[in-house]
Amino acid sequence: MTRLTILEYPDPRLRTVAQPVQVVDDEVRRLVDDMLETMYASRGIGLAATQVNVHRRILVADVSEDHSQPYAFINPQVVQREQVGATQEGCLSVPGIFDDVERAQRVRVRALGRDGKPFELDAEGLLAVCIQHEIDHLDGKLFVDYLSELKRQRIRKKLEKDRKLRAEARTPERPRAPAI
Ligand code: NI
């Protein structure tokens, strides 16, 4: 399995609308496995293919604490939603930022599984929120889009600063000329 690179906001590729999967073949299964590995390695509970720069309608999720409930949703659709409420969300593409977003707390999802077979799932709480957040990614939408423009500006600035700090930490310091 391979750990994939996650795109970060405001990368314009995160705005791509993903295409439906026609056939669930070995390539799709490999991608699902790589996405799960990438999600676990990044300590996430959900990941959409869009975030790893693959623009096909595939997402993975696991809200358990011990990585025991991995889900793959291919061509997912929410067919029923109930009970709107606010939940604090974060996103692997917007690292270190958390804010409240209102979404349905119970959803029924229809999708194809890793085996290519259709299934329906009634999800609630964190899993329901996660599925809606990931489907948004497949439509080129991020959770920060629900926040005010002022907040988004602050987030962009903070992420830019964080990226600079990380880049500096990775680059060994150039030897300095001796002080005279
Ligand atoms: Ni996300």
Kindly give the distance from the C-alpha atom of residue 49 to the centroid of ligand 1, in angstroms, as a whole number.
10
Closest C-alpha among 147, 172, 170 to residue 158: 147
Q: What is the pLDDT of residue 125?
A: 96
Q: What whole-number distance in Å separates Cα of residue 120 and Cα of residue 179?
A: 69
Convert the pLDDT of each residue in 71-93 to its tens digit.
Answer: 999 999 999 999 999 999 999 99
Q: What is the pLDDT of residue 158?
A: 96
Percent of the chain topping pLDDT 70: 95
User: What's the whole-model pTM score?
Assistant: 0.92
Ion ligand 1: residues, CB < 5 A: 91
What is the pLDDT confidence band of residue 1, given thresholds at 50, 70 and 90?
confident
Contact between 21 and 112 under an 8 Å Cβ cutoff? The reply is yes
Q: Identify the burial level of 135 via C-beta atoms within 10 angstroms of its C-beta, where 0-12 means exposed, 13-18 middle and 19 or more buried.
A: buried
Convert the pLDDT of each residue in 93-140 to its tens digit.
Answer: 999 999 999 999 999 999 999 999 999 999 999 999 999 999 999 999
Kindly give the distance from the C-alpha atom of residue 142 to the centroid of ligand 1, in angstroms, as a whole number.
7
Kindly give the distance from the C-alpha atom of residue 175 to the centroid of ligand 1, in angstroms, as a whole number.
40
Is residue 172 pLDDT above 80, yes or no?
Answer: no
Q: What is the pLDDT of residue 171?
A: 73
The residues that are catalytic are 134
Percent of the chain topping pLDDT 90: 91
Burial 26-63 (b: 16+ CB within 10 A, else e): eebeebbbbbbbbbbeeebbbbbbbbbebbbbbbbbbb
Distances in whole angstroms, Cα of residue 93 to Cα of each of 111, 116, 164, 166:
24, 28, 16, 15
Query: What's the mean pLDDT when you consider all of the chain?
Result: 95
